[in-house]
Structures are given as structure tokens and as C-alpha cells.
Structure 1
Amino acid sequence: MLISSEIESGASGSTARSNAELSRLAQENCFTFGAEFLPGVVTRAEGMYLWTASGQKVMDWTSGQMSCLLGHGHAEIVKTVTESARSLDHLYSGMISPPVIDLATALVNQLPRGLDKAMFLSTGGESNECAIRLAKLFTGRFEMVGLAASWHGSTSGAQGVQYNAGRKSCGPLMPGMHMLPSPDAYRAVFRNPDGSHDWKTELDYGWSMIDKASCGSLAAVIVEPVQSSGGMIPLPPGYMRALKAHCEQRNMLLIVDEAQTAMGRSGDLFAINHADNGGVVPDILTMSKTLGNGLPLSAVVTSNHIAQHARENGFMFYTTHANDPLPAAVGLKTLQIVLRDDAALLHHARRMGHQLHAGLHDIMSRYACIGYIRGRCLMLGVEIVKDRREGTTADIEVGKRISAKAMELGLSAMISAKSYFSGCIRIAPPIIISDEEMQWGLRTFEKALELTEGSGRIRENGLQTPL
């Protein structure tokens, strides 16, 4: 039990307490949710960096939970939070406020026709749960289709359209959940005669299996433009259009989840704008993470037709923080910053993405444990394998050691350390990262590889250097 002095010190006094003391309190009183806490207790975050209770400075190469698009503690966002907390923080869900109206207006003005009305919630899982229920109501059907290696949240509906350990030991999922193969070119089973990924045959085969399994009540497909948790797998050029065609053949809706790709992270304001997607406009678009720059804010955007049908047919998705003004004000400020600095910021993000991609490929030439590098702009994944010259077998343990060593050296580069996600180190720094910070991060990442047993350093003669 905490003594009164510990209670009184609280968060404001956390920097004065040792990392060991804080870690002990965390172990005694905090509930874990699927992963162990990292050793360093973070007491401060600013810009590109985190500081732990032991005084270590760490570059954040994952933008928190892939969310802090503009970095931690952005001055304009801090000011918005402060002013909103003072003047308009939380309301009854049925009430509407200027920040919500203004954010909805700003968003739909930036989105293509057919994405006309928005509502706001707290998390990506919540927004996807809402989108799934909206699709079921509109179509009058209940079967949902997702992509293997996707992540859409931890609510019951979202869990059903993804493969991960969160599905285990919690009883049956919602009925009518189906899965398409992940379009992973690196480990693809379907290949063209030249060895390239035959994603079209793969997709057609997946649908043929779903058609056989379906009870005739297919409602919608949900997909990420870049499968982040699955290892930063971008949808191949033309895939979104082919997926939309399959939906239209079956009178299904298309839901696109832009939790991580929206607001410039993927090089476009929204990933659905990318040329590879062929101008496809989803029936429902969800956003979270980057929209609130790390604060709990998500959005569901759909057409006038679907919104009107929902209104007329009693659609209800009440939650405590639906359309809350404070997070909406933060989302509006984030969007305003991105739009205000649009040309410069998106150009910078693309340039930094090219620099990151080139730097990682240079490192790859010296380490056999790097099997593949993929992604888009400032969303890149590094596949860690036993030895790329011998195959594509993942080596999650080596990946964990590389990630841990990077953290020791002051670089937060997290790994999808579950077997169903293949062991890919995901890199998604804030898009404000500078040239100097990028180069430091690349040097530190290579140093982590150099100091990790099993990384497979390649000498100039092509032989592997033992560690």
C-alpha cells in the first residue's frame, strides 16, 4: 500500500524518484495488457525525445504508439489543451460544440466527395467498432472480412477481423468473421513466373474461399493502406481498386482504417490519396492516433447517404467521450498545422522517408539478419530473419535483442515481437525529424546491430562475422 507521502508526490514528483522505486511501484500496482513494461520509466517527453527516471535520453523512433506525428509536447498543441481544459473540456454526448463542428468541417473539406459527415470518438478500436456496426446496419448483413496481419483494435468486433493473440482464451469471437491473405510480397505463396508477388491471384483465391464459407450475409471489408503491426506492409499498386471491385460484386461496403497513415505520415495527407490506390473512395473511413497527435481522438467519416440511413434507422453508438470538445480542438489544431505547413511538411516527410529508406538499405548490405525493408514514407519495417541468404525464416529473438540494445543506446525502435507478426522492427518517427536526428538514429541502429549476437555481420569477402 502507498504511504501518504508517496501519494502526495504523485506525477509531479516522479522525476525525483529513482527508476528502481518507480519500477517497483509499477510491478506492484499496474496491470499489464499483453506485454511487459520496458525497464526505463519515462518521466518526460519533448519533441523527438523521451527521458527516463534514470536520466537516459531516448530518441523516439516510433512516435509513441505510432501517434505523435508532430512530436511530443508541440507548443501549439500544449496551448490548445490548456485553453480547452480551461474553457470547454467535456460535454454530454448529445451536445455539440464549435471544436467538433470545426474539425468535422475541416476534415470533410479535405476528403473526397462521398466522405461527407464525421463523428469523433477516443480510440482506433472504438472507431473501427463503430464503422463495423454502421456497415452492418446499412447493409442489413453481418459478415465481415479483414486481412491477415492487420490490426484494428481490441474491441470484440475489431478483434474478429484480425489475427493476433488477443483472440485467444476469451471465448468465441463475433460470428461471421472472415480473413483474406495479407499481401506480403516477402513471404508470398502466390508468385508469377518471374518470382514476383502475384497478389491478384492471391486476392481472388482468398475471395473464392470466403464465398464458400459465407452464409450469404457479407456486409463489409476493413483494410489498412499500410499494415503496420503486420510489419509495415503497403497494399500493392492496384490492390485497393481490385478490393473495391470485389466489394461491389457482392454489394459490400469498403472500410479503410487510417489510424497511422493519415495526416501526412505516409507522404500524402491521407493514404487513400496515394496513386497506388487508384482514386478509390471508401464507404467509411476511420482515423485515430495521428489525428490527435497522440491524444485520445478518433474519427468515423462516411457518406451523406449512409449517415442519413443510420439516422433514420436508429443507429446508436453512445460512449462517454463521443464528440468531446477538448480532443476535437486538439485534432483541429493538428490538422491546421499540417495544412498550414502542407507543402513544406509533407515534402519534408517524403524527403526524410527517402533518407530513412536509403540508410536502412545501406545497413542491410552489412547485416544478414535484415531480410527485407518495406513500407511507405516514414512508415518502414525491417524484417529480422536468421539469414536472408538462406531464406525468410523470422528470428524474433534476435529482433528483440536488437530492439533492446537500441534502447540501451538511446533509440526506441520497437519490434512486433509476436509470431503472427513475423518479428519486424517498425520505424515511424515524428515527421518533424531533422536530417541530423535521422542520421544519428541510423548510426545508432547500426551500432545496435553490431553489438547484438546473431545479427550476422557480413565482411567484405561476403562471409559472416561471428560475434
Structure 2
Amino acid sequence: MTVIPPADPAREARIRELSRAHVLTSWSAQKAIDPLPLAGGEGAWFWDYQGRRFLDFSSQLVNVNLGYQHPGLTAAIQEAAGRITTVAPSFYEESRAEAAAAVAQVAPEGLEKVFFTNGGAEANENAIRLARQHTGRHKILAAYRSYHGATAGAIALTGEARRWGSEPAIPGVVHFWGPFLYRSEFYSADEEQESERALEHLRRTVLAEGPHTLAAIILETVVGSAGLIPPPPGYLQGVRDLCDEHGIMLILDEVMAGFGRTGAWFALDHWDVRPDLLTFAKGVNSGYVPLGGVVMSQEIAASFDERPYPGGLTYSGHALATASAVAAIRIMREERTMENATQVGQTALGPGLRSLADRHEVVGDVRGLGVFWAVELVADRRTREPLAADRMKALQQACVRRGLWPMVNANRVHVVPPCVISPAEAKEGVALLDEALAEVTS
């Protein structure tokens, strides 16, 4: 383990001063926040300028899949910077070509061509543009429990409350309810019934909107920010079948779930479903350099063989970003990152988090796979009333005092450590969460 540098309060104070004066922090009332200045990190840990070390159960924003300062990944970026730092999309460039081939190789069969973006929101923006151009239709169906990004089109696709501040949104987006048995909109008794009723609701929505007007249905394969909700058996295939029936493109958003997070290259691998368009970002290079993209079917790619694609980005396929993606995918193979995420989920996080429900009445539901879990906290298990915001804040603070950095979202703790976390570290984090829950609920 890297030796943590000694405390440097003067440097911390300067960072706070400059940030408060000049940085507008996203999703925040600026006077209500006091972010922690970070000094460094390694593996599944990071530390601050006070010399405090934290086990990261958030992966920053669920993107540091290979952990902090992976030597092979940082070396690849340094090497790429020594070759050439940036190349416009109008040129061919080696790392861009290799990254596209590497992504296509791990994507479902038949998805061969990649349009690179700077992140997940732009990936989803371009996915709906590709679908609209290919089909000649304009409407997009998206789930209420979803988050697809904060650019104009992506925030319109988003179903959760963060879209409200950006409305009125772009036209043509229609929302529907997806499956979630714990808080079912369909009064279901089990997962099979939830899947059937959610699919029937979606079918009726398609018919009400007019199938001939629908370009695409977009789904997070595993819902991320809006609840971390794996789909019930049969649901994704049912959506695929509905899309095929009406010539609608299926877009699967794997921005958060992809590249090892669920123990597979993409979460869709668990359900063996092939989309027409697949969006990615975050874990493709562990967020070391901004990068995202859309992998598309051969049929959609062929739409632009004879006519121009009406979209582009200055930094599409940036040389440093794509070089880091090539290295990250290679590292994931060599170091068996997917296998580690699966093992951690099956032996440490899954059993450990489920056991919390036996000891804490506030634990209403535990769900997830790989290193992608949520613990939903409630004031009353019978009514499933969400735990109050002040108690969630107290829980977050109790975790931080113990050296655990949680991801608290509404009444949930999202347990999403780097995919490289060891089973022992994962168990240590669950034990710290257990202690924090005991403190807050005693």
C-alpha cells in the first residue's frame, strides 16, 4: 500500500478557498455543501489532506472500476501522450481504431461499429439520434425509474426527479413504468407476475402512442441511480420481442452497469439480450479520461454508408481516452476483473448485505449482483415508508467517521466499490456499514 503523505492543512484550505470562489458544483445548492478535497488514492481506497484513509464504496460516481492509480492504465495514458495527444475525428488514428475494435469484441454479436463520445449523456444523445435517423420516426419511450444523463436529450429521457429542473424538455419522449417488485406499480405478488404486468403496461403504452411513431425504447439494463434495480426474469427478452414486432429500436444504457460492474462485460450478458444500440462510458476506462460511446448494429451503421451522419464532437474518440480504453479492456482480461467482481458479489457483498436485514429493522430490501448493490432503508418494513433524509445523512456521517465512503441516494445506500476490491476489503466495508447502522438506529 502506498504511504499516505503527511497532513497538509494549508493545501487543503487553499483548495477549499479556490473551489468555493470559482467552481460551480453539480446538483448542489452551493452554500449548503462543503466537499472533501481529495489528495490521492490507490486500489479501492482514497485519502484526504488530513491523512485520513477511506474505503470507497462509491467508486466516485460508479466509474472507477479498476480502482485508483492502476499502474498499467496510468502508464498507457502517459505513453499515448508521448505519441500524440489529440486527433480530430476526420482523421483515422490508431488508438481510436483499436478501442472501437476492442469494444465491439466484447459487445453482443452483430454490434460492430462504435461512435465515440465524451461521456454517457452524449452517448445516449447520439443513440436516440441514430435510432431516429435509422427509422425515420421521432418518439422515444423511456422508464420513469431511470437516469440517462444531464444534457438536453439525455435529461429528457431521464424519468427520475432530476429532470424536473430542465423541463420543458425536447419533444417526443414518453415515459412508462418499468418493473420493480419491492415498490411495484402493478400490485404484483412475485417477480414472474411483475415481469408479465410490466410488459403488458409497456405494450399498451406502445399501442397508445402509435408503434409507427416510435423510434426506440431505451432502458438501463440494470437501473442505476434511480434505485439499482435488476430486471426480473423474462422482462428484457419481452421488451426485445415487442421491439421486433413493431420495428422499434432497443437501446440498452450500460453507462453504469458495463465493463465489469455486474461481473460481466455488460449487464445484458446475464440475460442474453441483444440490443440495436448499446451505450457505454464510465467503466470502459475507469473514468481516467472522459470517454463514452454507442455501439450499433450493422443495420443501423449501414444507414450512413451513403448519407452523412448528422452529428459529431470535437473530441470524439480522443487519442488519450481511447488509448486508456484499449489498456483498460486488456487489463480487465489479464487480471480477471469480471471474475473478481462476481466472486466479491457472491461471497462478500451479497451475503454480507443480506445479513444486515437480520440485525437492522430499517433494512427493507437488498438487491444487486457483482459489485452493484443497493440497501434500501425504511422507517417501517410493513408500509415500506422510506427512511427520513436526516437519518440517511446521519448514516452517511457515521460511515465516514469509520473510514467508509458510502454512496447515499435518497433512502438507499448504493454499495458500488471498485471492481478490483478484494473479498476481505468488501467484508470490512460491510462490517463498517453494520456499525454505522447500529449507531444511527440505536
TM range (shorter): over 0.9
Query: Is the partner of 1:198 in helix, strand or coil?
Result: helix
Question: Relative to structure 1, is the Cα distance of residues 171 and 63 closer, same or farther in structure 2, using a 3 angstrom cutoff?
Answer: closer
Q: TM-score, normalised by structure 1?
A: 0.88
Q: CA deviation at 1:15?
A: 4.8
Separation in structure 2 between the aligned mates of residue 100 and residue 200 of structure 1, nearest angstrom:
42
For 1:315, the equivalent position in structure 2 comes to 309
Question: Relative to structure 1, is the Cα distance of residues 80 and 401 closer, same or farther in structure 2, using a 3 angstrom cutoff?
Answer: same
Query: Is the partner of 1:222 in helix, strand or coil?
Result: strand
Checking the alignment, whether the CA contact within 8 Å between 2:138 and 2:213 is kept in structure 1 is: yes
For 2:102, the equivalent position in structure 1 comes to 106
Letter in 2 for 1:446: D
Letter in 2 for 1:426: H
Query: Is the partner of 1:186 in helix, strand or coil?
Result: helix
Q: CA deviation at 1:109?
A: 2.3
Separation in structure 2 between the aligned mates of residue 66 and residue 439 of structure 1, nearest angstrom:
19
Separation in structure 2 between the aligned mates of residue 208 and residue 45 of structure 1, nearest angstrom:
49
Q: How does 1:362-401 map to 2 (within 5 A)?
A: 362-388=355-381, 390-397=382-389, 398-401=391-394
Separation in structure 2 between the aligned mates of residue 410 and residue 217 of structure 1, nearest angstrom:
52
Q: How does 1:84-233 map to 2 (within 5 A)?
A: 84-192=80-188, 197-214=193-210, 216-233=212-229
1:183-238 CA distances to partner (integer Å, 9 max, x unpaired)? Answer: 11101132445697522112212331343245951100111111111121011111
Q: How does 1:4-153 map to 2 (within 5 A)?
A: 15=8, 17-35=10-28, 37-153=33-149
Letter in 2 for 1:339: R
Q: CA deviation at 1:27?
A: 2.1
Q: CA deviation at 1:18?
A: 4.9
Of 320, 342, 350, which residue of structure 2 is paired with 1:326? 320
Checking the alignment, whether the CA contact within 8 Å between 1:180 and 1:207 is kept in structure 2 is: no
For 1:444, the equivalent position in structure 2 comes to 432
Q: CA deviation at 1:303?
A: 1.8
Separation in structure 2 between the aligned mates of residue 222 and residue 166 of structure 1, nearest angstrom:
18
Of 249, 257, 261, which residue of structure 1 is paired with 2:245? 249
Query: Is the partner of 1:404 in helix, strand or coil?
Result: helix
Checking the alignment, whether the CA contact within 8 Å between 2:179 and 2:194 is kept in structure 1 is: no
Of 406, 409, 426, which residue of structure 2 is paired with 1:413? 406
1:74-120 CA distances to partner (integer Å, 9 max, x unpaired)? Answer: 00011011111221211122112111111111222233322011122
Separation in structure 1 between the aligned mates of residue 8 and residue 82 of structure 2, nearest angstrom:
26
Separation in structure 2 between the aligned mates of residue 287 and residue 233 of structure 1, nearest angstrom:
18
For 1:358, the equivalent position in structure 2 comes to 351
- Cα RMSD after superposing both structures: 2.1
Query: Is the partner of 1:227 in helix, strand or coil?
Result: coil
Checking the alignment, whether the CA contact within 8 Å between 1:185 and 1:196 is kept in structure 2 is: no
Question: Relative to structure 1, is the Cα distance of residues 445 and 125 closer, same or farther in structure 2, using a 3 angstrom cutoff?
Answer: same
Checking the alignment, whether the CA contact within 8 Å between 2:194 and 2:232 is kept in structure 1 is: no
Separation in structure 2 between the aligned mates of residue 25 and residue 41 of structure 1, nearest angstrom:
11
Aligned length: 432
Query: Is the partner of 1:117 in helix, strand or coil?
Result: strand
Question: Relative to structure 1, is the Cα distance of residues 309 and 40 closer, same or farther in structure 2, using a 3 angstrom cutoff?
Answer: same
Unpaired runs of at least 5, structure 2? 1-5
Question: Relative to structure 1, is the Cα distance of residues 127 and 427 closer, same or farther in structure 2, using a 3 angstrom cutoff?
Answer: same
Checking the alignment, whether the CA contact within 8 Å between 2:395 and 2:436 is kept in structure 1 is: yes
Query: Is the partner of 2:413 in helix, strand or coil?
Result: strand
Question: Relative to structure 1, is the Cα distance of residues 169 and 435 closer, same or farther in structure 2, using a 3 angstrom cutoff?
Answer: closer
Separation in structure 1 between the aligned mates of residue 240 and residue 126 of structure 2, nearest angstrom:
20
1:19-69 CA distances to partner (integer Å, 9 max, x unpaired)? Answer: 444333322221122136454211212211111122211111111110111
1:293 aligns with 2:286: yes
Separation in structure 2 between the aligned mates of residue 440 and residue 18 of structure 1, nearest angstrom:
31
Separation in structure 2 between the aligned mates of residue 396 and residue 325 of structure 1, nearest angstrom:
46
For 2:330, the equivalent position in structure 1 comes to 336
Separation in structure 2 between the aligned mates of residue 92 and residue 348 of structure 1, nearest angstrom:
37
Separation in structure 2 between the aligned mates of residue 14 and residue 201 of structure 1, nearest angstrom:
56
Separation in structure 2 between the aligned mates of residue 15 and residue 120 of structure 1, nearest angstrom:
40
Which is worse superposed, 434-443 or 66-75? 434-443
| Percent of matched pairs sharing the same residue | 28
1:260-301 CA distances to partner (integer Å, 9 max, x unpaired)? Answer: 222221111222211xx2x32110111100001113111211
Separation in structure 1 between the aligned mates of residue 322 and residue 369 of structure 2, nearest angstrom:
28
Separation in structure 2 between the aligned mates of residue 290 and residue 194 of structure 1, nearest angstrom:
32
Question: Relative to structure 1, is the Cα distance of residues 331 and 449 closer, same or farther in structure 2, using a 3 angstrom cutoff?
Answer: same
Query: Is the partner of 2:78 in helix, strand or coil?
Result: helix
Checking the alignment, whether the CA contact within 8 Å between 1:224 and 1:257 is kept in structure 2 is: yes
For 1:260, the equivalent position in structure 2 comes to 256
